[in-house]
Amino acid sequence: MVTIYDIAEKANVSAMTVSRVINNTGKISDKTRAKVKRVMEELNYVPNQTARSLVLQQTRILFLLITDITNPFYTTLARGAEDAATKNGFRLLFGNSDESLEKENEYVQTILSARVDGVLVAPAGDPSLPHLEKLRAHKVPFVLMDREVPGIECDVVLGDSKEGGHRLTQLLIDRGHRRIAMINGSSSVSSARLRLQGYREALKLNDLPCADGDVYETSFGPRSDLSGIEAWLDAMPSLPTAIVAGNNVLALEVMSVLRNRGVAVPDEVSLVCFDDLGPYAEFDPFLTVAAQQAYQFGYMGIQMLIERIREKEQPLPWKKIVLPAELIVRRSVKELTSTQ
Amino acid sequence: MVTIYDIAEKANVSAMTVSRVINNTGKISDKTRAKVKRVMEELNYVPNQTARSLVLQQTRILFLLITDITNPFYTTLARGAEDAATKNGFRLLFGNSDESLEKENEYVQTILSARVDGVLVAPAGDPSLPHLEKLRAHKVPFVLMDREVPGIECDVVLGDSKEGGHRLTQLLIDRGHRRIAMINGSSSVSSARLRLQGYREALKLNDLPCADGDVYETSFGPRSDLSGIEAWLDAMPSLPTAIVAGNNVLALEVMSVLRNRGVAVPDEVSLVCFDDLGPYAEFDPFLTVAAQQAYQFGYMGIQMLIERIREKEQPLPWKKIVLPAELIVRRSVKELTSTQ
DNA sequence: TTGAAAGCGCTAACAA
DNA sequence: TTGTTAGCGCTTTCAA
């Protein structure tokens, strides 16, 4: 590895001078600066951030902890975060807690030991409190987003969940709906609580009832098993004419269940939700696709990489994995009966 | 900051002993181990990865460089990569090049100076070659995915693009389509080239023509301006009965353009594409939503965080930003004319 | 304008 | 089983 000393030696200066050139600090004659720069280019020198972080006690790394990387709300948020970080000379590390307190805790541990300069976090819920307290105890600055956690004072970026819930519900009422149900995230998540509150508020202001069974509380994250939603709908004496979903994921899942039952949206049940669907909102994506095994791409890629790192000394032959795509036929293709 | 020496002092042992306890190396009596562990808990000690990386010459960090973080193909891939990395005791850092060579180059610089142990990269295209050569020159192991780059030998995880292009096209042919157009990514991207090849192959095997204007080449990434696609369609004497899209983003964009023109999919034009749409594939998401300003959440969050880091010494009052949601009314809500 | 020495927090190698 | 020494690559402080 080329170090600052290699440069110094070859340029006939001290390491300190090289350091000054790299960081543009102190006074240096143009001549030495040019000489040092030339040698750096020649040797392909890249400063070692690790060493620098150790002495400077800062990493210039920020961490973004989100709860669902497959949700376009969070990926869009991530792009914003990345832009802001880059613009300010920070790098951004991502973590995905999957709405799990356990994973969140692991990430907090990682964050502490990596000595990142700050954290932008969407907490899994109110029980995230100890994790935030840990960050606070270690003096790691953090900003909450999307969700507040009672018991901790800090900076926070929120959506107006109560108002939003109110307006979504009012919109349905304005369209003539009287029996409106709600599916929502866990009540241990502040945004879910507020959205529910907004919903109830709107119903109340319009003198509409809300049966106990009309509100279903689950998790904001995607589930592999939709039977909970099935059971919720089954338990109702009749389907509501409209449903408010606490987020986009829940809306899609409800839609899936309704579709399997042959219940048409919006003809039989209207549906509204929090959070948009990114690039997938405006379209009717019943696309026929050659589905590539995206997850496998990532998984096997990392496995190969780790193997390569482990066997760094004995260069094995290069490997090439080709994964077949699966053709998924959906209704974006029309059968043409007559030729042309 | 609590260091290994603070622990050592309080536990009446040497720093080395503490190190051994942390890493579970060497032989240590149960008694000292217990004592050291107790002190570590007491002082809330967290090992400093930065220092460790410096001496070990490895960071246990892998880097995943993708070209479009809003594409479900890549987020799904990222989940796979994260799982594989975590399972093997590595952390994963993400970067998003946005199909831009410039951003890619910046990330390569970051990767080199951060001394990550390895990189999993979807290159922006063939001109990524110098970036890969730079990684190679610095002996940073890397694995390519999704795309190959002529001129560099390395590990690679690929989809079978040619075969996939062929099969998608054949599917359309089997359904009676004779005039099939293709919209594709840049020909400087290997997967785009192969997909086109598969498409042409299928046409040829079926003795079908392919007019020059029927193939449109653009970028795989999402564009803010769809006028290029408009112009492509306009230039054709008539619309084809079917279109093959080189990836999911292109398919959605074509669909958007067709929809604006009142061209029905699949009734008037059939559409197929590479890559699935993640959770958004099976649904008809014409959802009415309270769209939150996802990008702003991330952007402002990071800004607040950086400000907080800068003003670490003078604690300013905590800030709270509340962003309003925008109600976007789409056709998931039905107007009820009669009450109830 | 330049350089020498010390140290950031940790671990490998060796010694006791 | 435990401790001492040296050094990873860099920057800060002080001296020249």
> CATH homologous superfamily for A4-56?
lambda repressor-like DNA-binding domains (1.10.260.40)
For B116 and D8, how far is CA from C1' in angstroms? 16
Sites in chain A below the pLDDT cut of 70: 278-291, 312-313, 324-335, 338-340
For A14 and C5, how far is CA from C1' in angstroms? 13
* Residue that is written with structure tokens 């036929």 in the block: A329
Would you identify the CATH topology of the domain A161-292? Rossmann fold (3.40.50)
DSSP string, B128-152: GHHHHHHHHHTT--EEEES---TT-
How are beta strands A118-121 and A61-66 bridged, if at all?
parallel
Enter the DSSP assignment of A324: P
CB contact under 8 A, B138 and A46: yes
Share of chain A above pLDDT 90, in %: 49
Residues 6+ apart with CB under 8 A from B44: A137, A138, B2
**Mean pLDDT score across all residues of chain B:** 87
Sites in chain B below the pLDDT cut of 50: 285, 339-340
From CA A323, how far away is CA B161, in angstroms rounded?
A: 9
Cis, peptide link before residue A266, omega less than 30° from 0: yes
From CA B305, how far away is CA B190, in angstroms rounded?
A: 40
Q: Identify which of B307, B297, B93, B299 has the alpha carbon closest to the alpha carbon of residue A84.
A: B299
A278: left (phi over 0), alpha (psi -120 to 50) or beta: left
Asked whether the beta carbons of A258 and A193 are under 8 A apart, the reply is: no
Which element (helix H / strand E) includes B96? strand B91-96
Nearest residue of B to residue A327 by CA position?
B168
Q: Both tokens of residue A135?
A: 């960050």
pLDDT at B339: 44
- A173-213 pLDDT per residue, tens: 988 989 999 999 999 999 999 999 999 999 999 999 888 89
For residue B55, which nucleotide's C1' is closest to its Cα? D8
Nearest residue of A to residue B152 by CA position?
A318
pLDDT at B71: 85
pLDDT at B285: 46
For residue A46, which nucleotide's C1' is closest to its Cα? D9
From CA A293, how far away is CA A299, in angstroms rounded?
A: 10
From CA A2, how far away is CA A75, in angstroms rounded?
A: 37
Nearest residue of A to residue B255 by CA position?
A283
From CA A256, how far away is CA A245, in angstroms rounded?
A: 13
| CA of B192 vs chain A CAs: smallest distance (Å) | 14
For residue A33, which nucleotide's C1' is closest to its Cα? C1
CB contact under 8 A, A138 and B339: no
Asked whether the beta carbons of B277 and A280 are under 8 A apart, the reply is: yes
Q: Both tokens of residue A194?
A: 């507020």
Strand D neighbors by CB, 7 A: A 1, 3-5, 15-16, 19, 22-23, 25, 47-48, 51-52, 54-56; B 12-17, 20, 26-29, 31-33, 51, 54-55, 57
pLDDT at A340: 42
CB contact under 8 A, A157 and B321: yes
Helices (H), chain A: 4-11, 15-23, 30-43, 49-56, 72-87, 101-114, 129-137, 161-174, 190-205, 227-235, 248-260, 294-310
Q: Identify which of A95, A168, B191, A298 has the alpha carbon closest to the alpha carbon of residue A306.
A: A298
From CA B223, how far away is CA B250, in angstroms rounded?
A: 9
Asked whether the beta carbons of B185 and B218 are under 8 A apart, the reply is: yes
Nearest-CA residue relative to C1' of C8: A55
List the strands of the sheet with A288-291, edge to edge: A326-328, A288-291, B270-274, B242-245, B180-184, B215-217
Written as one letter, the residue type at B7 is I
Nearest-CA residue relative to C1' of D6: B55
Rounded to 10 deg, the angle between the B129-137 and B101-114 helix axes is 10
Dihedral sign computed on CA atoms, order B141, B146, B152, B155: positive
In Å, what is the CA distance from A155 to each residue of A125, A195, B240, B302, B308? 16, 21, 54, 11, 9
pLDDT at A26: 83
* Residue that is written with structure tokens 């996939």 in the block: B164
From CA A338, how far away is CA A5, in angstroms rounded?
A: 77
pLDDT at A326: 64
Domains of chain A by residue range: 4-56, 61-159+293-324, 161-292
Using DSSP's 3-state secondary structure scheme, residue A228 falls into helix
Residues 6+ apart with CB under 8 A from B190: B125, B126, B147, B148, B149, B150, B161
Common-topology check for domains B4-56 and B161-292: no
> B123-138 burial, b for 16+ CB within 10 Å, e for fewer?
bbbbebeebbebbeee
pLDDT at A285: 46
The count of C-alpha atoms lying within 13 angstroms of the C-alpha of B29, restricted to the half-sphere facing its C-beta, is 4
> CATH homologous superfamily for A61-159+293-324?
Response regulator (3.40.50.2300)
What global pTM score does this model have? 0.85
CB contact under 8 A, B274 and A141: no
Identify from B82, B157, B168, B194 which residue to disrupt to test chain A contact, counting A C-beta atoms within 10 A and taking the largest count. B157
CB contact under 8 A, A294 and B77: yes
